[in-house]
Amino acid sequence: MMMHGVPIKHLNTFGIDVTAKQIVTACSETELVACWQEAKEKSLPVLLLGGGSNVLFLEDFAGILLLNRLMGVSVTEDKNAWHIHAGAGEDWHELVSFTLDRGMAGLENLALIPGRTGSAPIQNIGAYGVELEKVCEYVDLIDLTNGVNKRLSAAECRFGYRDSIFKHDYRDGYAIVAVGFILNKSWRPVLTYGDLTRLDSKRVTPREVFDTVCAMRRAKLPDPAVVGNAGSFFKNPLVSADVAQNLLRHYPEAPHYPQPSGEVKLAAGWLIDQCAMKGFRLGAAAVHEKQALVLINGGQATGGDIAALAMYVRRQVAEKFTVWLEPEVRFIAAEGEVDAVGVLS
């Protein structure tokens, strides 16, 4: 199905009122490849889009917005684990609910993360102590130049903190078509964050973890259907042990999480909050009053308004803590994705 000159406000959770030259919904690999190749023949930029939950459109998009809607979920199992194969177009939260409804635990900490399944490995999504790499078995992608399929094991995906090979080697000219998950039957709850720490690890059920995660997210994060936002706007910064130690000397209460690499992860939301930024407005853009890590469209904000607010927040944190935050959200200009840090510098 092809549409021309359709506004894409409804296709990005920030609710930025911009347009694309064309919108194409692809429900098969053949359609994905055909659309991409046709766009290249016409020298038009192409943007693959899932749920539009992690993008900020800075202006009208001059090319084709290609919506990946490859669907389907299948399950196999062995004595140790369930193996789930999910199409890239499947709604992520619905997939989490699907597995839990069928007694397959392991995705519950990742409940209510907006977006489509195909976007999950790109960002290596994570929440409340669990990241996608922990449950990913493989990722299937297609070379849009020739239609050839390729399966990458989880190890080959080079997962990092909000990072993967799909942001680098397979960023252009490839599309994720499906993701494979492995959920161990010997389930162990991850109860290291927030209200989850209050649950009894010996008695808790996957459903109770799921419900607690949903309650926490709903309490702190605005519903994109009501208030335009892209969830967490900035990454939690990774700093050296020396930088963390120096910060903790001045702010011993600062949340911090030592990493296997020797670095220390800081809480970006806490850093912003310490700058008294909750509820701060800059034009039609604002910092959410309940969660400082979330920037919102407070009305008719443009992508430029959101970027200007992000730049201001970033500088306030840097001045107070000498820590530079990096956006988790992808910035999209007329010709495609641009360097978000560069835009804010």
Active-site residues, by number, are 162, 232, 328
Instruction: Reduce the secondary structure of the chain to three states and give it as a string.
Output: CEEECCECHHHCCCCCCCEEEEEEEECCHHHHHHHHHHHHHCCCCEEEECCCCCEEECCCEEEEEEEECCCCEEEEECCCEEEEEEECCCEHHHHHHHHHHCCCCCCHHHCCCCCEHHHHHHHCCEECCEEHHHCEEEEEEEECCCCEEEEEECHHHCCECCECHHHCCCCCCEEEEEEEEEEECCCCCCCCCHHHHHCCCCCCCHHHHHHHHHHHHHHHCCCCCCCEEEEECECCCEECHHHHHHHHHHCCCCCEEECCCCCEEECHHHHHHHCCCCCCEECCEEECCCCCCEEEECCCCCHHHHHHHHHHHHHHHHHHHCCCCCECCEEEECCEEECHHHHHC
